[in-house]
Amino acid sequence: MQDILAHLVRLRDVAEREQTLAKKRELFDRLAAHLTQLASEVDQTMLGYGRRDRS
């Protein structure tokens, strides 16, 4: 009986860790998308300055 209880505790721990990892993955996915957008905006701004310098 103790073995079964120990396994249940481990299963709950694993489930909790998986939930935490899923939340972290979601956060990093959003962060990556945001940073990609910022990089694109910097690129566009730099291209705009390049066009103005040639005028």
* The pLDDT of residue 51: 72
The CA-based angle 10-15-32, given to 5 degrees, is: 135
pLDDT in tens, 6-28: 999 999 999 999 999 999 999 99
pTM recorded for the entire structure:
0.66
> What residue spans define the domains of the chain?
1-55
Residue type, 23: K
Q: How confident is the model at residue 53 (pLDDT cuts 50, 70, 90)?
A: low
DSSP-derived 3-state class of residue 55: coil
| pLDDT at residue 50, rounded to an integer | 79
The rounded distance, in Å, linking the Cα atoms of 35 and 23 is: 18
The count of other CB atoms within 10 Å of the CB of residue 36 is 10
Query: d(Cα 33, Cα 43) in Å, to the nearest integer?
Result: 15
